[in-house]
């Protein structure tokens, strides 16, 4: 199957469809619109029927802190190097952005740690870095 990668934000529908496919909660459309409009860089991968099968995006301040967010590949399309394609594109952008000591963070779903280690990411805590933390608003 042929896949096409495009440097663009997903549509609101694509975004929530991909979240749903991953078992993540849907977000309100108005919030998705604001969030996507603040994306620094994004990629959408489509199948031969023009259906979004994967995406990833970068958010942050555009200079010192970047966060890789929403890396999603539909379960039925996993294990076809789509996730690698997405990460390669996002990291290619980050190679040119920021400078020495720029912080590139991400949080991955449980069980996906080895995938991201392959791109040079480390698990926390370490001797130098404390545990990553998160708070989800209810």
Q: What CATH number does residue 57 fall under?
A: 3.40.630.30
Q: Would 126 be classed as within a structural domain?
A: no
Domain that holds residue 69: 4-109
Residue bearing tokens 């993540």: 24
Query: Are residues 53 and 45 in contact, defined by beta-carbon separation less than 8 angstroms?
Result: yes
* Cα 84 to Cα 136: distance, rounded to the nearest angstrom: 27
Q: Would 96 be classed as within a structural domain?
A: yes
Q: Would 134 be classed as within a structural domain?
A: no
pLDDT at 138: 85
pLDDT single digits (tens) 49-108: 999 999 999 999 999 999 999 999 999 999 999 999 999 999 999 999 989 999 999 999
Q: Would 67 be classed as within a structural domain?
A: yes
pLDDT at 136: 86
Higher pLDDT, 39 or 133: 39
Query: Are residues 124 and 130 in contact, defined by beta-carbon separation less than 8 angstroms?
Result: yes
pLDDT at 137: 87
Q: Would 73 be classed as within a structural domain?
A: yes
pLDDT at 98: 86
- Count how many domains the chain has: 1
Q: Would 50 be classed as within a structural domain?
A: yes
**E strand map for 1-138:** 4-6, 41-46, 52-60, 65-73, 103-106
pLDDT at 47: 97
pLDDT single digits (tens) 6-52: 999 999 999 999 999 999 999 999 999 999 999 999 999 999 999 99
Closest CA to 101 of 66, 55, 71: 66
pLDDT > 80? residue 1:
no
Q: Would 121 be classed as within a structural domain?
A: no
Q: Which one-letter DSSP state was computed for residue 51? A: -
pLDDT at 119: 97
Q: Please count the other Cβ atoms lying within 10 Å of the Cβ belonging to residue 54.
A: 25
Q: Would 128 be classed as within a structural domain?
A: no
């Amino acid at each position: 199957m042929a896949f096409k990668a495009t440097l663009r934000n997903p549509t609101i529908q694509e975004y929530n469809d991909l979240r749903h496919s991953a078992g993540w909660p849907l977000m309100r459309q108005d919030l998705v619109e604001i969030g996507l409009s603040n994306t620094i860089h994004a990629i959408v991968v489509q199948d031969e029927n023009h259906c979004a099968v994967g995406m990833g995006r970068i958010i942050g301040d555009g200079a010192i802190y970047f966060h890789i967010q929403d890396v999603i590949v539909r379960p039925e399309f996993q294990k076809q190097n789509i996730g690698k394609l997405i990460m390669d594109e996002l990291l290619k952008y980050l190679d040119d952005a920021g400078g020495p000591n720029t912080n590139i963070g991400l949080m991955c779903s449980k069980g996906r740690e080895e995938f991201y280690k392959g791109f040079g990411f480390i698990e926390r805590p370490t001797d130098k870095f404390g545990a990553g933390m998160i708070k989800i608003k209810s």
